[in-house]
Structure 1
Amino acid sequence: MICLRAAFPLTSSFSSSPLRRLALKPSSSRAAAAPAAMSSAIAAPVEHIVLIKVRPEAAASGAAAAMVSSLQALSSVVPGLSYIHVGPVLRLRSPAAEALGPTHVLHSRYATKPDLAVYAAHPAHVAAVQGHVLPNALDTTAVDWVNAALAPSPVTPGSAVRLTLAKVKEGVEVPQLVEKVAAATAAAGEAKGARVSFGENFSPARAKGYQFGMVAVFDSVEELDAVEGDGKVQEAKAAVRPLLDEVLVLDFVVGPAAVEAPAPANL
């Protein structure tokens, strides 16, 4: 499978103002569900990505670290939340990423869209956003998609993840891009150990125009860096590049707090 860098990059916001919608609107579906085991190996997860640009004074004072802790703690209290990682961005890998300037990323997964809606409305999530994110963030961007890849992309502590967000060129339909990426990843195979999840963004109001998201998961930063020299990956990028307008690429490393239980055997 492929990892798309600056030439083929992919990343979520808060309410009607840019800082007030960290997730979807509330839904009553599955609201009474029991907390799920932390697992990132769901075959077709709903991916939720939030990019956060933290105020410099928040980083210096420790408020940013408190924000990370408050969001990471949602793993033990929110029903339907199968995996969450919150932490600093490792590297900004494209001009669009540098222009946006996110300092932190939240990546979480759910089995269904209603599970994501439950997360959005949960009192603990609302409290974390109101008490820690809103006071300390200059800007946020959010993207949500349902994984269109054939295989899961499990994430474990220490995994290195490349996030790519993309806008398609005029006249190109996003499903066309998804289909092309599926073919390209199949052709590239498990390039350098990459495991991917990608799909069409279904939260356009919060995404700053990004229509497509992708994460490529590696066991380490070294494996992520090694993919740059893979010929099949370069061929896959070349196949997709003509469909793309603006792309955003960044890397992050999953911290030890994002611990998951093994996925159920039927997944």
Structure 2
Amino acid sequence: MSWSSEIESSQMIEHIVLFKIKDGADSDKIDYIFNGLNGLVRLDQVLQLSAGPVHQLRSASAFTHVLHSRYGSKQDLGAYAVHPDHVSLVKESAPIVEDIMAVDWITDRTIAPPPSSVAKITLLKLKENVPDEVKMEFVEVTKGLNEKVSGIEHFTVGENFSPARAKGFSIGSIAYFRDVGEMDAHKELVNLLKDKKVGDYVDDTIVVDFLVPSVETPQL
């Protein structure tokens, strides 16, 4: 794989997509779409990909499904986005998707989570006119969660660089736990994000838990 000059070879791109599937959508069609999305892990540009239903959602939004994938560069993410197999699935899913959003950030390159682990995605929407230094403080505070919260297998965080579909959310993080029980025992992960030092700047938060499929073929 050729690495982008925009990021270090020790880094990668996190790509999160949240979907709200329409009420009453055909279950076979939903399975077909998400089986197809999981199959995109075979593409050369994809380091890792898993997609499926949301296990738990803490948000005023009503997202039902999530996709998490990783790429070695912004160019690879772009190539994935326009790949015919991906474009075909996007078109086929359009009739059953009521709402969608996506965020992307750069992070240190890390190992793929093991199948059947549990991910907690946290997205933060900051209030308008928040200074860049405060955004950086958010990232640094969130990075510290990896050390403060036991049970996290691995953790990444960064500032979104694709605002077009992010609905104003600008900070993203993902923490992987061994299983649901391990994750549920550490609810302080979300509470730490409400620290008074930075909490006054937060306009909205989305927290999504999802299960990594039991069969996955990571390429990291």
Instruction: Using structure 2 for the length normalisation, give the TM-score.
Output: 0.85
Q: Which of 158, 170, 183 pairs up with 1:224? A: 183
Return 45-54 or 162-171, whichever deviates more: 162-171
2:122 and 2:188 map into 1 onto residues whose CA distance is: 18
SS at match of 1:192: coil
1:198 and 1:186 map into 2 onto residues whose CA distance is: 10
SS at match of 1:164: strand
Contact 1:175-1:200 within 8 A present in 2 as well = no
Structure 2: gaps of 5 or more residues:
3-8
Q: Which of 84, 102, 107 pairs up with 1:123? A: 84
The alignment's C-alpha RMSD in Å is 2.5
Matched with 2:5 is none
Q: What's the CA shift for 1:185?
A: 3.2
For 1:194-233, list aligned pairs within 5 A: 194=152, 195-228=154-187
1:225 and 1:43 map into 2 onto residues whose CA distance is: 31
Aligned residue identity for 1:75: V
Matched with 2:118 is 160
Q: Specify whether residues 113 and 139 from structure 1 end up closer, same or farther in structure 2 by C-alpha distance, changes over 3 A only.
A: same
**Higher-strand-fraction structure:** 2
The number of aligned residues is 212
Q: What's the CA shift for 1:180?
A: 3.5
Instruction: Using structure 1 for the length normalisation, give the TM-score.
Output: 0.71
Matched with 2:204 is 246
Contact 2:50-2:216 within 8 A present in 1 as well = yes
1:140 and 1:201 map into 2 onto residues whose CA distance is: 16
Q: Which has the higher contact order (CA 8 A, sep 6+)?
A: 1
Q: What's the CA shift for 1:257?
A: 3.2
Write out per-residue CA displacement over residues 88-123 of structure 1, whole angstroms, 9 at most, x where no aligned residue: 000112xxx2x3211100110001100100101111
SS at match of 1:45: strand
Residue 80 of structure 1 pairs with residue 45 of structure 2: yes
Q: Which of 205, 216, 219 pairs up with 1:258? A: 216
2:134 and 2:140 map into 1 onto residues whose CA distance is: 10
Q: Which of 140, 144, 154 pairs up with 2:100? A: 140
Structure 1: gaps of 5 or more residues:
1-28, 31-41
Contact 1:184-1:240 within 8 A present in 2 as well = no
Q: What's the CA shift for 1:250?
A: 1.5
